[in-house]
Structure formats: C-alpha cells, structure tokens
C-alpha cells in the first residue's frame, strides 16, 4: 500500500512538517515521494489524521 493525496489538498504543509520523507508541497499541493512506506507508516498515519481537509489516504 502507498499513501496518496487527492485533489482536495490545500497545500498547507502540515503533512510535510510531520513526514518530510514522504510528503513535499510543490505547486500548491502535497506530492508523495518515493520512500519505504512500511517503516514510515506511523508518521504517514499521523500526517493523514492531521490533514485539515482529509486529503491523504492509503491505496493498494
């Protein structure tokens, strides 16, 4: 599974602050970077939980 950011992202940067190994805000929207998502699962889940527009989910 991998994290995805949907179009509701407002580019606030919260996810990047929590997990910069995975998320980077570019062009006004968070982008998912290549990383070991299994190792970073807790940080990714924290970033998803803190997203004000719930733009981060997991995808198969």
Helices (H) and strands (E) in the chain, counts: 2, 4
Confirm if 46 and 17 have CB atoms less than 8 A apart: no
Q: Give the predicted TM-score (pTM) of the model.
A: 0.93
- Give me the mean pLDDT over the 29-53 stretch: 98
Q: Which two tokens stand for residue 9?
A: 């992202």
Instruction: Give the confidence band of 34 by pLDDT, cuts at 50, 70, 90.
Output: very high
CATH number for 36: 3.30.70.20
Q: Which two tokens stand for residue 57?
A: 């989910």
User: Which domain, by its residues, includes 40?
Assistant: 2-59
Domain count, the chain: 1
Half-sphere exposure for 57 (CA within 13 Å, toward CB): 9
Distance spanning both ends of the chain, measured CA to CA? 4
């Amino acid at each position: 599974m991998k994290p995805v950011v949907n179009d509701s992202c407002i580019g606030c940067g919260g996810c990047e602050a929590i997990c910069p190994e995975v998320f980077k805000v570019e062009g006004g929207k968070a982008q998912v970077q290549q990383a070991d998502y299994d190792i970073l699962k807790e940080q990714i889940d924290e970033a998803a939980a803190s997203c004000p527009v719930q733009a981060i989910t997991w995808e198969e």
